[in-house]
Amino acid sequence: MKMTIKFGFKGFSLLQAAVAFLIFVLFPQIGFSFSGSVQLRADQRFYEDSRFGFVNGFSEWWAPQFGFDIGLIDLGWNIEPIVGFEFAKNETTACAVESDGITCLRQNGVVVASEDKFEYQIYGFSSGLRWKAWETEFFPISPFIDTKMQFHYTRIRKLTSNVTEKKLVTGIDWGMELGGGCFFSFFTNQVRRNQMKSEWDLKDFGATASAYFLPGGWFKRGLGAVSGTGGWSFGLGLLGDW
């Protein structure tokens, strides 16, 4: 329960449940027809900027990121345009800085922590393309590749403990996201596939495992001393294909 409150899992889980209810229960009953795909993801995030506390290592675990993406239409050759949303929320210890007030202070290559805390929220919006190697009628595990443009809106609150000072910094950055993974279909036999196609108009449903690289960004505005929201992530998800 403590982790749920800190990272806001409860609110996001309710959102996921609402999306699933609309897709799987309500829309078919009212005759809503959807052609495309929906993927829900939960990722572990690592950041290039030391101020977020997670810099390509596991010294501090569990910087969660949640998101979904929607495939809009099949363009042929297993290519579909996708749009998505991602959300990350966490608290981390700020780094002590050099005399320039920006560069994180290090001793023997290790970032030195300060007494300050960062609370941050990152909202990501994306659009791009997904290519899947083959349909799972051929083989139940199918690799896929994503390439997307990412826009992030970030809220960072710095808590200075010794003077009880609170400072809010906001900003945006924009860049590229490259990644991919594998789709593992739950439809392991044709009878099950035909049944779900008939009852739900669902072509495929299964789990995904994916990893993404997010460069530091080509454009940044605001964010204070934070260089950007780039880094990398890996995670698991569920994907339905209509």
Mean pLDDT per 10-residue interval, the chain, length 242 residues: 35 51 50 74 86 55 84 89 92 75 75 77 94 90 95 86 71 92 91 79 92 83 83 93 88
Instruction: State the residue for tokens 């990272």.
Output: 7
Name the maximum alpha-carbon separation found in the chain. 68
Contacts of 178 (CB under 8 A, 6+ apart): 146, 147, 212, 213
Dihedral over alpha carbons 172, 237, 6, 173 (to 10 degrees): -10
* Amino acid identity at 224: G
Task: Report pTM.
Answer: 0.75
The total of other beta-carbon atoms located within 10 Å of residue 157's CB is: 15
The total of other beta-carbon atoms located within 10 Å of residue 107's CB is: 8
Q: Give the pLDDT confidence score for residue 56 in this predicted structure.
A: 44
Query: Looking at the domain 37-241, which fold is it?
Result: Porin (2.40.160)
d(CA 23, CA 63): 28
Tokens of 59: 């010294």
Q: Give the pLDDT confidence score for residue 192 in this predicted structure.
A: 79
Spans of all domains in the chain: 37-241
Q: Give the pLDDT confidence score for residue 17 in this predicted structure.
A: 57
Q: Give the pLDDT confidence score for residue 3 in this predicted structure.
A: 34
103-125: per-residue pLDDT in tens? 777 878 777 777 777 788 999 99
